[in-house]
C-alpha cells in the first residue's frame, strides 16, 4: 500500500525544486508495519513518456539520499553544504525514484525495531511489494 504522493514545494536553502518532486511511503510488510520512504524527481522533459529509474544505494544500511544529493540527483550538496544545480543529473533523461531501502534506513521505518533488516535476503523480499507499487508512485 502506497501513501498519497506529497509534493515537495520548497527545499532548505534552495527554494522551489527545478522540476516536480514528490515523496511518500510504501508499506512492504503489514505484519511488521514496515514502510519504505521514496522520493520521486520528475524528468525535465515530458514525465509521462520518460522512463522510470529506481535508485537504491547498496545495503542494507546505505541511504539512497547519497545518490539523490551527491551523485545523480537534480541538486547536489556543495562543499559548504548548500544545494546547487547538478548539470549531470539523470532526471534530464528519466523520472528518478530514490528508495530508502530497507526499513530502518533513512526515513524508512518499522513499527517494531526488531524487524529492521540486517540481511540482503530480507531486503530482497521487501522489494517485491515496492516493485508492485511503482506505477502508483510515478
Domains and CATH numbers, the chain: 6-137 (3.40.50.1820)
Give, in order, the Cα–Cα distances in Å from 114 to each of 2, 67, 82, 94, 109. 23, 27, 35, 36, 11
CA dist., res. 40 & res. 115, Å (int) = 26
* Assessment of whether the complete model's pTM goes beyond 0.85: no
**What is the structure's pLDDT at 120?**
47
pLDDT along the chain (138 residues), means of 10: 84 96 91 89 96 84 89 96 96 96 81 61 49 52
Amino acid at each position: 500500500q502506497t501513501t498519497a504522493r506529497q509534493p515537495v514545494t520548497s527545499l532548505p536553502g534552495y527554494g522551489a525544486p527545478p522540476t516536480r518532486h514528490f515523496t511518500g511511503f510504501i508499506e512492504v510488510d503489514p505484519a511488521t508495519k514496515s514502510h519504505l520512504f521514496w522520493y520521486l524527481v520528475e524528468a525535465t522533459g515530458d514525465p509521462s513518456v520518460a522512463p522510470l529509474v529506481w535508485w537504491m544505494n547498496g545495503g542494507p544500511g546505505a541511504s539512497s539520499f547519497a545518490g539523490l544529493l551527491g551523485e545523480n540527483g537534480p541538486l547536489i550538496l556543495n562543499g559548504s553544504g548548500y544545494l546547487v544545480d547538478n548539470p549531470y543529473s539523470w532526471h534530464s533523461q528519466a523520472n528518478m525514484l530514490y528508495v530508502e531501502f530497507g526499513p530502518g534506513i533513512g526515513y524508512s521505518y518499522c513499527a517494531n525495531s526488531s524487524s529492521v533488516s540486517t540481511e540482503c535476503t530480507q531486503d530482497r523480499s521487501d522489494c517485491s511489494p515496492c516493485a508492485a507499487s511503482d506505477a502508483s508512485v510515478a
